Amino acid sequence: MTLNSLQEIFEAFNSLKVLIIGDVMIDAYTYGKVERISPEAPVPVITVEQREERLGGAANVALNVQALGAQPLLCSVVGSDSEGNTFIQLLEKQGISTEGIIHSNTRLTTKKERVMSGAHHLLRIDAEINSPLAAEEEKSLIAKIKEIVEKADVVIFEDYDKGTITQTLIKEVIAATQEKGIPTVVDPKKRNFLQYIGTTLFKPNLKELKEGLKIDFDARDNKQLEEAVGQLKEVISTRNALITLSERGVYIDSDKGKSHIPAHIRTISDVSGAGDTVISIAALCMALELPPALLAALANLGGGLVCEFAGVVPINKESLYEEALEHELFERHSTSG
């Protein structure tokens, strides 16, 4: 597909279907005021003013994909518990299909509850099981993925090390996508870092890159960074490696060239969820076969945009488009590697 402008690219996003595989969770927030210390223990007493539950983990990637105009197809596992029912209701409220969600009788639905007073984060309570899926659950999820992948233009692996993504699942899904010519993009974590052999695009952050390869280097030294990413590409046989470098932007090493895209200067409120936005934009660009440097530039811009907002929020497509126009990303990167 030949796309001749930024407008055509953003319109083409609307026709894409994206299969997202990974660990889903509920992000819960309790907001209130602290005006006294408990007489029972030296801890603050919070008077609750508001409670909120949001889609998190791989489901936040689905929200980003949806916000960009594409159709998310989410495959994951939740518990057969009240939180699992809440998760399904949140998906339905958002208009996201629940077809790919498997219910487990042996696992909890992952829930992260944050207790907030004003701008102060007082406490986080995590309910989760992060052991790998049981054999029958793994089998059911793989079968569901193979059924849904027929509809997909691109596949995202969104790994949070909670056990949904197993080595067997990775191997079978990548084999299926390679057979069908569907690109795969990966947002990895430590446990399965070196298992994604043959994926199309691999997107670790700098810390994950160092831990995954068990190496240390100075990322400010371009030669050392290039060597590390080259080693990564060789080890997992990926054609494209996109490394997020926090305040230094992103670096991409592809079969069409290497590019370092600096971060844009902006006021940072919260970096939570930025990686979800980056992988979502990268996946859509990969599905459209955009030049790697343009893919990296758009993903870098989107990741920075969501950092201007408190909490985990999906990208605003119109804002991304307007900033991409302002920075002339298409003109600067559409013909480069």
Contacts of 184 (CB under 8 A, 6+ apart): 154, 155, 156, 157, 173, 174, 177, 196, 199, 200, 201
Closest by alpha carbon to 205, among 259, 255, 242, 163? 242
The H-assigned helical ranges of the chain are 6-13, 58-67, 82-94, 135-148, 167-180, 206-213, 222-236, 274-287, 292-306, 317-326, 329-333
Helices and strands in the chain: count of H runs, count of E runs: 11, 13
- Residue 123, classed as helix, strand or coil, is strand
Compute the CA torsion angle 184, 73, 192, 181 (nearest 10 deg).
Answer: -20
Q: How far apart are the first and last CA of the chain?
A: 17
DSSP code at position 265:
P
User: Do 46 and 32 touch, CB atoms closer than 8 A?
Assistant: yes
If we measure between CA atoms, which residue out of 102, 212, 100 comes closest to residue 149? 100
List Cβ neighbours of 41 (8 Å cut-off, separation of 6 or more). Answer: none
| 216 in catalytic set | no
- What is the H or E stretch that residue 68 is in? none
Q: Which of 153, 187, 253, 276 is catalytic?
A: 276
Q: Are 229 and 255 in contact (CB under 8 A)?
A: no
Active-site residue list: 276
